[in-house]
Amino acid sequence: MSALFAPYTLRSLTLPNRVWMAPMCQYSAEATGPAAGVPQDWHFAHLAARAVGGTGLIITEATAVSPEGRISPFDLGIWNDTQVEAFSRINRFLASQGTPRGIQLAHAGRKASTDKPWNGGGPVGPENDGWQPVAPSAVPFAEGHLVPTELTVDQIREIVGQFGAAATRAAAAGFQVAEIHGAHGYLIHQFLSPHSNHRTDAYGGSFENRIRFSVEVVDAVRAAFPADLPVFFRVSATDWLDEGGWTADDSVRLADLLVDHGVDLFDVSSGGNAAGVRIPLKPGYQVPFAARIKAETRMPVAAVGLITESDQAEKIVANGEADAVLLARELLRDPNFARRAAADLGASVPTPSQYLRAF
């Protein structure tokens, strides 16, 4: 019996296998007008292909809780009903394939208002549909990036409310998992890390103060999302800095605390908050962080990062290093990874009737 293809239950949701799709921005929405942030045909085709391929959970790309929370003008959002209707159409198809649906709720903070990566990914100003980014502190991400406006306490509370409202809309759109994006140098991560958080009020300084925003967002999302459905939290386990950053020890502390606030699983990544950091990339390079959180806390975990082979994914789950694996680039290369891995491991995933002749 393959561990990778054993079902997994969180709250009332049973996921058919442990091969999950990580959020990956497509930068393919309209930037302005009534279609701003609205999923398009590209998003439908992109997500539907992975559902047909047998993926056990599909999590949409980082979806902004406000227009200013987008990484780029071309990102998805869930701040209005038009976006909800478009997501509902996609989710109806995923549901028809028996595929659980997740959404990653996000705010980019100081990394907002940037161009598409294939256009260089640099900052864009109002003349190119950009805007003024905000952050815990007026510290830019890197040289050449916009200096963000430091958030007031009232603005922080407003953003917390936006996360809660987005969770309500996510449920209305048919999502079964709400993942809070606390990683990769975006707003929540910016509050967590002393590298980017230089505040001296209740939201900065001590560990307890720096996690305050995260806890408030979690509480808002948990209160707004159905109680019988799971909430995930994506964390960058480390900033990969020798000093002055968020650490693996901090991630362990945060994971154990957020269990008591209703988080059901940590999606464990790393990096993204400090420019120019060298990360020792190799197959499964982030798995040890997930394994440590799983071993030292009460939090279930999913591992992500250069997981590309069936046997590799199987061993991660079978060895108890993670409860599931999240694939990103490998699922771009092969939308049918789950189906191929199942065949490799002597398991199976459902086949659409239209494709039975091929199997």
Per-residue pLDDT tens over the stretch 36-91: 999 999 999 999 999 999 999 999 999 999 999 999 999 999 999 999 999 999 99
Domain for residue 1, yes or no?
no
What are the angstrom distances between the C-alpha of 327 and each of 55, 263, 308, 321? 10, 21, 8, 16
Q: What is the mean pLDDT of residues 273-293?
A: 95
CA angle 28, 42, 8 (to 5 degrees): 105
Domain for residue 205, yes or no?
yes
Per-residue pLDDT tens over the stretch 209-253: 999 999 999 999 999 999 999 999 999 999 999 999 999 999 999
- Under the banding of pLDDT at 50, 70 and 90, the label for residue 359 is confident
Q: What is the mean pLDDT of residues 342-356?
A: 95
Per-residue pLDDT tens over the stretch 145-195: 999 999 999 999 999 999 999 999 999 999 999 999 999 999 999 999 999
Q: What is the mean pLDDT of residues 315-328?
A: 98
Residue 318 has pLDDT above 90, yes or no: yes
Per-residue pLDDT tens over the stretch 49-58: 999 999 999 9
Q: Confirm whether 186 is a catalytic residue.
A: yes
Residue 204 has pLDDT above 90, yes or no: yes
Domain for residue 180, yes or no?
yes
Averaged pLDDT of the chain:
97
Using CB atoms within 10 A of its CB, is residue 215 exposed (0-12), middle (13-18) or buried (19+)?
A: middle
DSSP 146: P
Domain for residue 194, yes or no?
yes
> Does the predicted TM-score (pTM) go above 0.85?
yes
pLDDT, residue 317, reads 98
For residue 113, which of 177, 169, 69 has the smallest C-alpha distance?
Answer: 69
Q: What is the mean pLDDT of residues 271-284?
A: 94
> Could you list the residue range(s) of the whole structural domain that residue 179 is in?
8-358
Q: Domain holding 84: CATH number?
A: 3.20.20.70
In the chain, how many domains are there?
1
Domain for residue 268, yes or no?
yes
Scanning the structure block, which residue is given the tokens 């109680």?
Answer: 227
For residue 19, which of 44, 47, 52, 54 has the smallest C-alpha distance?
Answer: 54
Domain for residue 157, yes or no?
yes
Residue 130 has pLDDT above 90, yes or no: yes
| Catalytic member of 8, 27, 186, 203 | 186
Domain for residue 243, yes or no?
yes
Domain for residue 3, yes or no?
no
